Structure 1
Amino acid sequence: MKAIIATALDKQYNAAYLGNAEVGSIKTFIRMPKDWRHIVLDENNQIDKALSWSSAFFRTDTDKHAIAGFYDVVVPAYNTQTQYYLPEQIYFDVENLVFTYPVHDFTQAEIDAKLKDEKINESNSLKQELIQQKLEAQILESAQAESDDTVALDNQALYPFWEVGVAYTVGFKVQAFDGVDVFLYKCVQPHTSQEDWQPKDVPALFTKVAYPGEIPVFVQPTGAQDAYNTGDQVHYPTENDPVYESLIDDNVWSPTDYPQGWQQV
């Protein structure tokens, strides 16, 4: 950042940049003006053409900055805990040829008050963080306890994605990929997940959660935990094939392996 002490000539010939500045005031610039007219008058109050110039490339013509009165603005080193400076107190440091600010010391009372405010703010921030964590934990716990599959599916985003190395308990719900699609699954047998036990591949461990009335494709049961019961319906062998309804409980056979256990709907 640069600054300049506004002169009457500067205001007259650079009104676009200094129109509202008072003569003798300091004007700061985040970016240097693209064009600038530097005017010097001779003893007859006429423009001295030898010393005056107008630059359309003033922003990059850095060797002319100091000539026109532009100098760097330097923020002084100070301890933010015990000291401060005020931007409106900017002044020109003649010895170092920079614009800068005087540094002031906070009183001990101000330092103590500042520390108290910081501790209060830290405590409030931590409180909000803890509240958020507890609310999130309660919401996720409530989601896992939800027994209505329709409600669970309508709020599927609340459930975590399946991961390797997690101890899953019966009824715990996870999201998992089948190809590029994401489905909701429910654990049917306690286990610690492994890389090759993804929910879509292990019906003995997970069952896909479906809306009521949605008829799934037959999946070969591996035991009582995922067997079909009386009234369960499936497409067999693909979703485009007929629907079969189980006639028995603990049905672990397909319609072709044990036709007596199924009837086509």
Structure 2
Amino acid sequence: MDMIKLAAEMRTALQYFVTTLDAETQLDKMLEIPSMFPAYEVGKAYKVKDVISYGVNSVGDPQLYQVLQDHTSAAEWTPDTATSLYKAIGVTEGGYPVWVQPLGASDAYNTGDIVSHNGTLYISTMDGNVWSPETYPAGWEVYAE
């Protein structure tokens, strides 16, 4: 069995699945698997509500964007600059990522990471932080800009 071909087929299947998620009601699920969303491509026809990845957010995860209007992408209209075409999701208006339950040590929050949880900004006070601010308040401090 060709493991590379199998892995490519699995990724394609997962990318089909992620297109069924809704950013309005299932954002938490989307943010758990940001690397599964297709990367932004120049010259591609996008439809309203498509979700793509482009660049990385402040904690190093792929940044997700939702398409706001049907269009064909162009090199000069990248998701991070064309705010009439794309909306960053999983981040606050100030650019802070929304807290997502880490899967383990590999994606845990570290000292100094700032996240938004239930509308409040928090800064992690420890490395390897896998708990939410409400589950383990000692691992977080309220952050003010």
Offset of residue 131 of structure 1: 4.9
Q: Which has the higher contact order (CA 8 A, sep 6+)?
A: 2
Q: Which residue, 207, 211, 224 being the options, matches 2:87?
A: 207
What does the per-residue CA deviation read over 1:167-218, in whole Å, with 9 as the maximum and x for residues that have no partner?
11222211113799652111111111101101111121111112xxx64149
Worse overlay, 173-182 or 134-143: 173-182
Offset of residue 141 of structure 1: 0.8
| Correspondence for 1:173 | 51
Distance in 2, matches of 1:163 and 1:194, equals 8
| Correspondence for 1:34 | none
Structure 1 segments, 4+ long, off by >6 Å, are: 178-181
Gaps in structure 1 of 5+ consecutive residues = 1-123, 219-232, 234-238, 241-265
Q: What secondary structure is seen at the aligned counterpart in 1 of 2:80?
A: helix
* TM-score normalised by structure 2 residue count: 0.52
What does the per-residue CA deviation read over 1:101-154, in whole Å, with 9 as the maximum and x for residues that have no partner?
xxxxxxxxxxxxxxxxxxxxxxx54xx666544432221111122121111111
* TM-score normalised by structure 1 residue count: 0.30
Does structure 1 residue 145 correspond to structure 2 residue 23? no
Distance in 1, matches of 2:88 and 2:27, equals 10
Q: Over the residues paired in the alignment, what is the CA RMSD in angstroms?
A: 3.2
What does the per-residue CA deviation read over 1:68-119, in whole Å, with 9 as the maximum and x for residues that have no partner?
xxxxxxxxxxxxxxxxxxxxxxxxxxxxxxxxxxxxxxxxxxxxxxxxxxxx
Q: Which has the larger radius of gyration?
A: 1
Q: What secondary structure is seen at the aligned counterpart in 2 of 1:170?
A: coil
Does structure 1 residue 191 correspond to structure 2 residue 68? no
**Per the alignment, do residues 178 and 198 of structure 1 end up closer, same or farther by CA in structure 2, a change over 3 Å counting?**
farther
Identity %: 18
Distance in 2, matches of 1:202 and 1:178, equals 16
Q: How many residues matched?
A: 93
Distance in 1, matches of 2:8 and 2:78, equals 29
What does the per-residue CA deviation read over 1:2-58, in whole Å, with 9 as the maximum and x for residues that have no partner?
xxxxxxxxxxxxxxxxxxxxxxxxxxxxxxxxxxxxxxxxxxxxxxxxxxxxxxxxx
Gaps in structure 2 of 5+ consecutive residues = 96-118, 120-143
